[in-house]
Amino acid sequence: MSDEAIYQGMLAFIDAGQASDAEFNAKALEIFAHQFEHNLPYRRFAMQRAKTPRSVRSWRDIPAVPINAFKDLTLSCRPAEESARIFMTSGTTRGGIRGQIHHTTLAVYDRSMIVNFRQRVMAGADRLPMAVLFPDEEAMPNSSLAHYLALALRMFGTEGSRHFIGADGLDIDGLFAALAAAERTGEPFALLGASYSFVHLMDAMERTGRRFALPDGSRILDTGGFKGQSRELEPDAFYGQLSARFGVPRGRCINMYGMTELSTQFYDDGNATCPSLKSGPHWIRSRVVNPLTGQDVPPGSVGVLVHHDLAHINSVAAILTEDAGILEADSGFRLLGRVAGADAKGCSLAVDDFLTAARG
Amino acid sequence: MAAVGSAEYAGHLPGLSADAVERRVLTFRGVGGAVEVAVPVLTAAQVARVAETVRAAAHGYLKTLTVAEIVTILDRAVARLLDRDDPWRQKAERLLPIVTGYDAEMVRLGLTGYLKTFRAPELRKFLAEDFASPQILDDFQPVPKGGFARAFGPDLLLHVWAGNVPALPLWSLVSGLLVKAGTVGKLPSAEPLFAGWFAQLLAEIDPRLGDCLAVVWWKGGDEAAERAWLAQADTVVAYGGNAALAAIRDRVPVTTRFLPHGHKISVALVSRAALDPRRVGEAARLAAHDIVRYDQQGCYSPQTLFVERGGRVSPRDFAGCLAHELAALARKFPRRELSMAEAGAVASWRDAQEMKGFADPGRLLLSDPAGGWCVGYTEAAEGPAPGGLNRTITVVAVDSLDEVAARLAPAKAFLQTAGIAASPEELFRLAGPLGAAGVTRICALGRMTAPEAGWHHDGRFNLLDLVTMTEIERSAEIAADGFARYAD
């Protein structure tokens, strides 16, 4: 099948609005065959596990690549020179080495984001006045999050919506003015950004005692966690403070869970309770596995999340994360934090300590 | 607070009546069942009470014993623990595998091998290692420079133990008692039993000695509890990761002696002399033993093996032999059940090795499909990086073992043991550079997890570091002569 046919087929799959188990499976096998054929490191990886398009009948048996692999291998179906865009991971683990994810086109990535965002975040609204607490794509061309947020702004923001982080950092005065304007007009407002940017913003508001009561229907979207860029807050405290500072009920404080290594995002339906239930659209499915064997854990048990994202065509659809989770039958999963980085039970040195020391 | 009906009571608290102490229950589940351990949670007043009791008892009794008498009492306790018919020993064999998760037979063999190093003759070696004349702990002894000296142990020595290696706290606990220190030990949450049992057993053998030591617990990082104890001690020995140690150090009063033992990394070296078809099986078996014992959780456990090229068996084939031995030992001593985080660490290390192998033919990954053990092999010039623990090992091929010391040097602050299989000439040629690079213990392959009696843990003096010397200078002696009744 030609690349063009694969990409067109996937766009149609997204636009279909739903997929049965059989349809998901068939599409997953088709994408696996494509990736097995064109992505050579992935083919070697799959063959090492004795999984080939001939032998695999269920999407669950398609081998999932550990996210660390993106740091060592170029996992791309087309030569790297043909990449239209390379997204890079943040390098918060393993001594700052950053993984690279190649996209020959962002057509499917963008369609995936738009369709899903419209349904889960806009929830009936066409456009909203938006403020983005993150640098723009020009400042961070290798950030998938910068691309995601720029796309949200372009597709769903009203006139005047913009980024509030620039070369001089967070434009607090401008942001306060925008929030105050929303209070005055009574028009619902959307505040989007990295979780740690919200912490910085709330710290600044704390100092001046500033609070807002955004109009009904306003929403907040945070993503990405704190990554050592701000204080770490427990989810309950974080959403409690967000809600109190901006007057947005916790049920409208949405967390997006995404990864540079994927082309599709997961959302919850607000954070009235934590950990919230995360789910994705019909072209992505998740499993919870034992990281050592790769086998599914018994239903209801904690394991490591594997995401199978059919929209991630040029790279690898099946990704083994380092996130612990628990699957809730058919409705999604709860995210329980990162798995890696276990301390030794005894007195031998573990990797994290060693790296910490090596960094000084 | 949970009910403590059938729980095992941990710790040893002289000066407090059992029913006055609040308990918290830690539950451990293992292959052999579940055990509930009720650890003590003391109030500030109780902390002060226990500290006072121990200090007073040590003053009134322990410090009046000769070191030889102390050795005799410790020996009786250790003999009981070596006796498989003794109820204490039976309890240890039954409960420690559940609490630590280690295979029962591994624990049994490990306990015996370990406890043997605390018999009276071994304790005397222990003393002789640090003191030319151990009687210096009893009374003033003449010293070579002239005059006399006597060593005094702390009035209250606090041990902050960590880790799940069974019975590990015994090293420092015994060291403290040998220098007659009033002793308080903080149980590690991962193995909160053995140290308390040892204290209770000592109290059974000699009730007055039982009052000279306490075994307590607080939740790691509980600042208030930690400060309360740190304020009582005049010397603190602490084990743990650097972050935990730094937190403790910040709370130790400046006048208190602080002796930290951070987490360490160990390596093994296999010379081409051991790599002929006749000997290689044995070398691989011994290396596998060091890896399997306590699933690499000890500071003395190897994480990297440097194997020399040029023998009749190549380093790559040695990696294969090692994989074979690990597979055999996995059946004999199954690995403990891993937490999700530990399994994730193993998987992440293993997968990273595999990925690197795709791009580099000089790499190889041998592993059990279920991840029960993994051997990574590399021809790259790698140093002693930690692996995924729990039976994951990197075999690094080197042209000559002489290259190894330079590769270790950057990890100097973390190095501990080097297990070695080499000829006598090589052993002594390598020992100097290894020591200079930071290795503090060189032992035979296969003995890495069983340090000999009297070893200098992390290269320090286990006993000498605890004491202060009081010296009578020659001048005092001469001047005293002038005031003697017989003076002319």
Which sign does the torsion angle of CA B56, B59, B64, B70 carry?
A: positive
In angstroms, the CA B269 to CA B309 distance is: 12
pLDDT value, residue B453: 81
β-bridge pairing B468-472 and B148-152 = antiparallel
Confirm or reject contact between B242 and chain A (CB < 8 A): yes
Q: Which of A72, A292, A356 sits opposite B370 (nearest CB)?
A: A292
Confirm or reject contact between B330 and chain A (CB < 8 A): no
- Interval A217-227 mean pLDDT: 91
pLDDT value, residue A73: 85
Which residues make beta-bridge pairs with A183? none
Kindly state whether residue A339 falls inside one of the protein's structural domains: no
In angstroms, the CA B128 to CA B463 distance is: 10
Which residues make beta-bridge pairs with B33? B30
Distances (CA, A) of A354 to A116, B385, B412: 41, 8, 12
Q: CA nearest A294 in B: which residue?
A: B370
B145 in Cβ contact with B94 (< 8 Å): no
Q: How confident is the model at residue A206 (pLDDT cuts 50, 70, 90)?
A: very high
Residue with the bigger pLDDT between B488 and A164: it is A164
Helix axes A21-38, A3-15, angle to 10 degrees: 160
Torsion angle of alpha carbons B236, B237, B242, B247, nearest 10°? -20
Q: Report the residue count for chain B.
A: 488
| Shared-domain flag, residues A82 and A165 | no
Residues 72-101 of B with CB under 8 A from A: 100
| Shared-domain flag, residues A200 and A249 | yes
Q: How confident is the model at residue A330 (pLDDT cuts 50, 70, 90)?
A: confident
Confirm or reject contact between B239 and chain A (CB < 8 A): yes
Kindly state whether residue A196 falls inside one of the protein's structural domains: yes
In angstroms, the CA B339 to CA B162 distance is: 18
Q: How confident is the model at residue A93 (pLDDT cuts 50, 70, 90)?
A: low
- Could you count the other beta carbons within 10 Å of the beta carbon of residue A162? 17
Any residues with CB less than 8 A from the CB of B279 and at least 6 apart, and which? none
Question: For chain B, what is the total number of helices (H) and then of strands (E)?
Answer: 16, 18
- Interval B226-254 mean pLDDT: 93
B10 in Cβ contact with B196 (< 8 Å): yes
Check CB contact under 8 Å for B358 and A356.
no
Residue with the bigger pLDDT between B124 and B339: it is B124
Check CB contact under 8 Å for B358 and A353.
no
B273 in Cβ contact with B427 (< 8 Å): no
Kindly state whether residue B477 falls inside one of the protein's structural domains: no
Confirm or reject contact between B284 and chain A (CB < 8 A): no
Which residues make beta-bridge pairs with A267? A256, A279
| Shared-domain flag, residues A216 and A265 | yes
At residue B37, does pLDDT exceed 90? yes
| Shared-domain flag, residues B241 and B303 | no
Name every chain A residue with its beta carbon within 8 A of the beta carbon of B385. 351, 354
Number of inter-chain CB pairs under 8 A, A vs B: 146
Q: Which domain holds residue B247?
A: 8-263+461-471
Check CB contact under 8 Å for A303 and B359.
no
Kindly state whether residue A101 falls inside one of the protein's structural domains: no
| Shared-domain flag, residues A140 and A182 | yes
Q: Which of A254, A276, A298 is the last residue of a domain?
A: A276
Kindly state whether residue A245 falls inside one of the protein's structural domains: yes
What distance separates the 2 farthest-apart alpha carbons in chain B?
92
What does the mean pLDDT of chain B come to? 93
Name every chain B residue with its beta carbon within 8 A of the beta carbon of A324. 340, 344
Q: Which of B265, B350, B358 sits opposite A348 (nearest CB)?
A: B265
Distances (CA, A) of A152 to A10, A112, A256: 21, 12, 13
Kindly state whether residue B485 falls inside one of the protein's structural domains: no
β-bridge pairing A130-133 and A162-163 = parallel
In angstroms, the CA B114 to CA A250 distance is: 56
| Shared-domain flag, residues A248 and A134 | yes
Q: What is the pLDDT of residues B394-444, one digit of tens each?
A: 999 999 999 999 999 999 999 999 999 999 999 999 999 999 999 999 999
Confirm or reject contact between B473 and chain A (CB < 8 A): no
pLDDT value, residue A182: 96
Kindly state whether residue A220 falls inside one of the protein's structural domains: yes
Check CB contact under 8 Å for B162 and A322.
no
| Shared-domain flag, residues B252 and B281 | no
β-bridge pairing A318-328 and A302-309 = antiparallel
Provide, rounded to the nearest whole percent, the portion of chain A with pLDDT above 70.
93
Q: CA nearest B350 in A: which residue?
A: A292
| Shared-domain flag, residues A122 and A271 | yes
Kindly state whether residue B487 falls inside one of the protein's structural domains: no
| Shared-domain flag, residues B378 and B389 | yes
Check CB contact under 8 Å for B265 and A354.
yes
Q: How confident is the model at residue A353 (pLDDT cuts 50, 70, 90)?
A: low
Name every chain B residue with its beta carbon within 8 A of the beta carbon of A304. 340, 344, 347
Check CB contact under 8 Å for A340 and B241.
no
Kindly state whether residue B479 falls inside one of the protein's structural domains: no
Q: Report the residue count for chain A.
A: 360
At residue B369, does pLDDT exceed 70? yes
| Shared-domain flag, residues B307 and B247 | no
pLDDT value, residue A167: 87
Q: Which domain holds residue A28?
A: 3-86+282-321
Name every chain B residue with its beta carbon within 8 A of the beta carbon of A74. none
| Shared-domain flag, residues B135 and B189 | yes
In angstroms, the CA B33 to CA B425 distance is: 51
Which of B389, B408, B448 would best serve as a mutation to test chain A binding (most A beta carbons within 10 A)? B389
How many domains are contained in chain B? 2
Kindly state whether residue A333 falls inside one of the protein's structural domains: no
Kindly state whether residue B486 falls inside one of the protein's structural domains: no
| Shared-domain flag, residues A132 and A258 | yes
Q: How confident is the model at residue B3 (pLDDT cuts 50, 70, 90)?
A: very low
pLDDT value, residue B4: 42
| Shared-domain flag, residues A112 and A253 | yes
In angstroms, the CA B182 to CA B180 distance is: 7
In angstroms, the CA A347 to CA B417 distance is: 13
B218 in Cβ contact with B229 (< 8 Å): yes
| Shared-domain flag, residues A212 and A259 | yes
pLDDT value, residue B80: 97
A251 in Cβ contact with A223 (< 8 Å): no
Q: How confident is the model at residue A230 (pLDDT cuts 50, 70, 90)?
A: confident
Q: CA nearest B359 in A: which residue?
A: A73
Q: What is the pLDDT of residues A101-115, one digit of tens each?
A: 999 999 999 999 999
Confirm or reject contact between B338 and chain A (CB < 8 A): yes
Kindly state whether residue B88 falls inside one of the protein's structural domains: yes
Any residues with CB less than 8 A from the CB of B331 and at least 6 apart, and which? none
Provide, rounded to the nearest whole percent, the portion of chain B with pLDDT above 70.
99
A125 to chain B, closest Cα gap in Å: 41
Interface list for chain A against chain B, based on CB atoms closer than 8 Å: 41, 44-45, 48, 66, 68-69, 72-73, 290-293, 302-304, 320, 322, 324, 339-351, 353-354, 356-357
| Shared-domain flag, residues B375 and B246 | no
Distances (CA, A) of A138 to A23, A99, A111, A147, B212: 38, 20, 21, 9, 69
Q: How confident is the model at residue B1 (pLDDT cuts 50, 70, 90)?
A: very low
Q: How confident is the model at residue A350 (pLDDT cuts 50, 70, 90)?
A: low
Check CB contact under 8 Å for B263 and A344.
yes
Name every chain B residue with its beta carbon within 8 A of the beta carbon of A357. 242, 413-414
Which CATH number belongs to the domain containing residue B252 in this structure? 3.40.605.10
At residue B5, does pLDDT exceed 50? no
pLDDT value, residue B138: 98
Q: How confident is the model at residue B104 (pLDDT cuts 50, 70, 90)?
A: very high
Q: What is the pLDDT of residues A166-196, one digit of tens each?
A: 888 899 999 999 999 999 999 999 999 999 9
- CA A324 to chain CA centroid, nearest Å: 15
B178 to chain A, closest Cα gap in Å: 24
Q: CA nearest A295 in B: which residue?
A: B370
Which CATH number belongs to the domain containing residue A250 in this structure? 3.40.50.980
How many domains are contained in chain A? 2
Kindly state whether residue A332 falls inside one of the protein's structural domains: no
